[in-house]
Amino acid sequence: QAQLVESGGGSVQTGESLRLSCAVSGYIYSNHCMGWFRQVPGKEREGLVAINNDDSPIYADSVKGRFTMSQDKDRNTLHLQMDSLKPEATAMYYCAVVTFCGGVLHWEQYTFWGQGTQVTVSS
């Protein structure tokens, strides 16, 4: 089964940047969706950006133009470059994967999840 481990979180000030990584191990089907999500305690998990196979990433309006997702050619590592961070970005960030999906930003469709990495943005 697939295993995912996020890293790169931390505490930064408003306007600074962070780069998150997600290491994927185990068997991964050739057809898959992979994405980044975040969750604040008491609020619903939010899809940030995801890709369907080798298609272009789909971004949520809340992060479009500031966050950038990429993956290695062998698809074993995901990255999330986060620029111009704001306090509203404070959350637990997760990467996830599923064999196939319809709406790539719908977290309910994803099967395998990492443990999360905390991002805190102070003003």
Q: pLDDT-derived band of residue 101, with 50, 70 and 90 as boundaries?
A: confident
Mean pLDDT, the chain, whole residue set: 93
Q: What pLDDT, on a 0 to 100 scale, did the predictor assign at position 53?
A: 86
Q: What pLDDT, on a 0 to 100 scale, did the predictor assign at position 28?
A: 67
What residues have CB less than 8 Å from 61, skipping those under 6 apart? none
The residue-averaged pLDDT of 88-95 equals 97
Structure tokens given for 71: 């993956």
- Residue 55 · residue 33 · CB < 8 Å: no
Q: What is the pLDDT of residues 19-73, one digit of tens each?
A: 999 999 986 677 889 999 999 999 999 999 999 988 899 999 999 999 999 988 7
Q: pLDDT-derived band of residue 75, with 50, 70 and 90 as boundaries?
A: confident
Percent of the chain exceeding pLDDT 90 equals: 80
Q: What pLDDT, on a 0 to 100 scale, did the predictor assign at position 109?
A: 94
The residue-averaged pLDDT of 111-118 equals 96
